[in-house]
Structure 1
Amino acid sequence: MAAAAEDARGAAARLEAIWQRGGAAQWLLRPLALLHATLVGLRRGLYRAGLLRREHLPVPVIVVGNRVAGGAGKTPVTIALVEALRAAGRRPGIVSRGHGRSDLAALHEVQPQDPAATCGDEPLLMRRRTGAPVVVGRDRAAAARQLLARHPDTDVIVCDDGLQHLRLARDIEIVVFDERGAGNGWLLPAGPLREPVDAPPAGRVQLAVHNTGGAEPAPGLPPGERLQRRLGAPVALADWWAGVPARPGEAAWAALRGRRLLASAGTGQPARFFDALRAQGLDLDTLALDDHHGHATLPWPATATEVLVTEKDAVKLDPARLAAERPGLRIHVVPLVLQLPPGLISTVLQALAAR
């Protein structure tokens, strides 16, 4: 299993290098990218013509996704959106594919104490962070039907990472872009795009948001509002699992400065996490893991005494297991706090009211 993950990481790194360098290897992949673009356009056309059937739900559907392969921040946007909807008096539920779980075809309602292998790390994080009902399944429409059957008071479905799942009819699409923009502008495998940047909306409303950490969005992207993101205060792993609030932010960061720390991240963009930690004045060694790393074997060297991890990793780290396997090792969980622009929330609420 570890060897397979290492091979996958190596293949992904080689492909990303080809995208960045261009040259002969990238040219050789372009015919496949053109075929991919043709198939994407054909599939979208069949749905528009009604030859492929969309499934409409009795409540509005918001789909959060991205055009570029890899982590652009879809799950943090979903969490922030669900929190904003609840603050506005709506009763949202979440559906997701549940990447990395053992049985992708089965429908499963996520519970706060589920193992991540059963439901996927991101759905488990969304359930723990928002308290909203979450159902996972490869068939998002079937997952949504189950959620509505079990939670009939739900009045809006938020679909995490379902932009290309066109069978689920949607009212609103939120397309997330990060610092990478559209990459080299080519579709997979010659570039990072899953579909064209200017793909038409599959719902009534399509909104673009730029998760660039304050940087200017890359050229050639659709206009949209910028998200504000920051790190929350670090909290001990056992306290995070128990829901104990973190210390005030500056005090928590100050307690870590001047100590040699290891930062570990199994996310789509681990360097983003490391850079944000260094901006807090921390002295770091870093360990970039593959996205959705399972932590079946603890990945840190025996010399590590303090490790900083993301919440996406923390859901796979049982404090009792850590205490038994690595007594004395201190794990600090660092949450990502993302703030949606008020204008985006207002537009979403207006679109929901107009359904």
Structure 2
Amino acid sequence: MPEQRTKRDTHSSTQRSSDRETRWLNAWYQGERWVYWLLPLEWLFRSVSAARRCFLRRFCQRHLPVPVIVVGNLSVGGTGKTPVIIALVRHLQKAGYRVGVVSRGYGSQAPEYPYVVSAASSATQAGDEPLAIWRATGCPVCIDADRVAAAQTLLQAGCDLILSDDGLQHYRLGRQIEVAVLDAARALGNGHCLPVGPLREPVARLREVDFAIVNQTQVDAEVHLDIPGQAPVIDMRLQPTHWFKVKDLTEVPLSQVTRGSAVHAVAGIGNPQRFFDTLTGLGVRPQCHIYRDHHRFSSADFSFKQPLPVVMTSKDAVKCQSFAEPDWLALEVEAVLDKRFWPLLTQAIERKTKI
């Protein structure tokens, strides 16, 4: 009985959290009016954010002797940054760079910081996204809330180009190139900053970035966003490549889950609907189980009444490997970017770093 109550209480807490998150998302993206009562808080947020940015850039910013590319977004929640990071790492590795990735490591509990991800790292120690990036690319990944310290650690390891994951607002770390990733389906919401809208900074911030990558995955036809500034707008889609077994990482083909099959689809990411839509596009019928971004999974989360196959994202898989059943599968996707992006990126690196 105590164990049952614990599971029931955990489920209720998760459900309440999900309901609160849904209410905010509806306000930001569906145009609910009650949120505009919070306009004074938005003005305060923007004032503090602008002052912080000015102070950090003027007095605290540190520049490194190697190129730094920051990948981030303006809005809270998922836009597809992690697959973009992985695509960038792979491309730059092929170009001959010794790439390293720095990340805040949200939710990580590393024994020390800066912490370099390794084969012995768990998702608890490293965080889900850094571990997923390391597994996909094999490049050095270092986590620390102080990205400057993390980057310096990678420099000592021999890296000659640094990628900063979700570092657009981490102004202590100087950068040569900024890449903003946006979601075509959600766009910029109501265009307001927190808490009235989903933005961390005003829309005008996009005037300063070097590239705006628009994730078109959830839309049938390409959506053209009205993005201020002169930065090239690059379309991107997330393409499923294969499944892999959560337990031992063995790759299996997409045909392993037959079209028309019903599955338990588990997602603890910033935009779970993107994952569910991808499954539907593969002909799979998902029973959707939504958890908060970076949710720390346990076996209790998988006590489903109906015995169906379990599938999840690759980001969630790193947190479930220790207790996964042998038949649980995770979907691997890759970011497919407009081909004109790659020569433009090369030109930007050469121009801004004088390589």
Q: TM-score range by the shorter chain?
A: 0.7 to 0.9
Q: Does 1:306 align with 2:313?
A: no
CA distance in structure 1 between the aligned counterparts of 2:14 and 2:143, rounded to whole angstroms: 23
Residue in 2 that maps onto 1:95: 102
Q: Structure 2 CA distance, aligned partners of 1:218 and 1:352?
A: 26
What residue in structure 1 maps to residue 211 of structure 2? 207
Report the counterpart of residue 274 of structure 2 in structure 1: 272
1:331 to 313, 328, 331: 328
User: Counterpart amino acid of 1:163?
Assistant: L
The TM-score normalised by the length of structure 1 is 0.87
SS at match of 1:166: coil
Whole-Å separation in 2 of the counterparts to 1:104 and 1:15: 35
**Alpha carbons of structure 1 residues 295 and 200: separation in structure 2 relative to 1, 3 Å:** closer
How much has 1:351 moved relative to structure 2?
Answer: 2.2
Quote the residue 1:281 is aligned against.
283
Residues 200 and 266 (structure 1), Cα distance of their counterparts in 2 relative to 1, 3 Å cut: closer
**Partner deviation per Cα, 1:172-224 (whole Å, 9 max, x = no partner):** 0000000211100100000000001221667xx62111012264335432450
Name which of 133, 136, 147 aligns with 1:129.
Answer: 136
Instruction: Give yes or no for contact 1:181–1:218 (8 Å, CA) kept in 2.
Output: no
Cα deviation for residue 14 of structure 1 reads 2.0
Establish whether residue 146 from structure 1 lines up as the match of residue 130 from structure 2: no
The residue that corresponds to 2:4 in the other structure is none
- Aligned residue identity for 2:162: I
Does the residue aligned with 2:247 lie in a helix, a strand or coil?
A: helix
Deviation, structure 1 residue 11: 2.6
The CA deviation at 1:19 is 2.4
Indicate the SS of the match to 2:320.
coil
Where does the alignment leave 5 or more consecutive residues of structure 1 unmatched?
Answer: 324-328
Q: CA deviation at 1:284?
A: 2.4
**2:71 pairs with 1:59:** no
Asked whether the 8 Å contact 2:237–2:335 carries over to 1, the reply is: yes
How much is the aligned-residue C-alpha RMSD, in angstroms? 2.3
Alpha-carbon separation, structure 1, partners of 2:30 and 2:75: 18
User: 2:313, 2:332 within 8 Å by CA — same for their partners in 1?
Assistant: yes
- What is the alpha-carbon distance in structure 2 between the residues aligned to residue 340 and residue 207 of structure 1? 12
Change (3 A) 1:315 1:10: same
Please name the residue that 2:182 is paired with: 177
For the residues of structure 2 that align with 1:105 and 1:181, how far apart are their CA atoms? 38
- Cα gap change, 1:332 to 1:109, in 2 (>3 Å): same
2:20 is matched with 11
> For 1:117-153, what per-residue CA distance to the aligned partner results, in whole angstroms no more than 9, with x for missing partners?
101000000000000000000000001111211x12x
1-structure distance, mates of 2:67, 2:300:
42
| Distance in structure 2 (CA, Å) of the matches to 1:142 and 1:4 | 36
1:160 aligns with 2:165: yes
Letter in 1 for 2:347: Q
TM-score if structure 2 supplies the norm length? 0.87
The amino acid across from 1:81 in the alignment is L
Displacement, 1:309?
Answer: 0.8
Which whole-Å CA distance do the structure 2 matches of 1:159 and 1:33 have between them?
27
Instruction: Give 1:283 shift.
Output: 2.4
In 2, are the aligned partners of 1:94 and 1:135 still within 8 Å (CA)? yes
Q: What is the Cα deviation at residue 7 of structure 1? A: 4.4
Distance in structure 2 (CA, Å) of the matches to 1:60 and 1:303? 51
In the alignment, which residue of structure 2 is the partner of 1:326?
none
Shift of 1:274: 0.8
Secondary structure class of the residue paired with 2:252: coil
Q: Distance in 2 between matches of 1:102 and 1:218?
A: 40
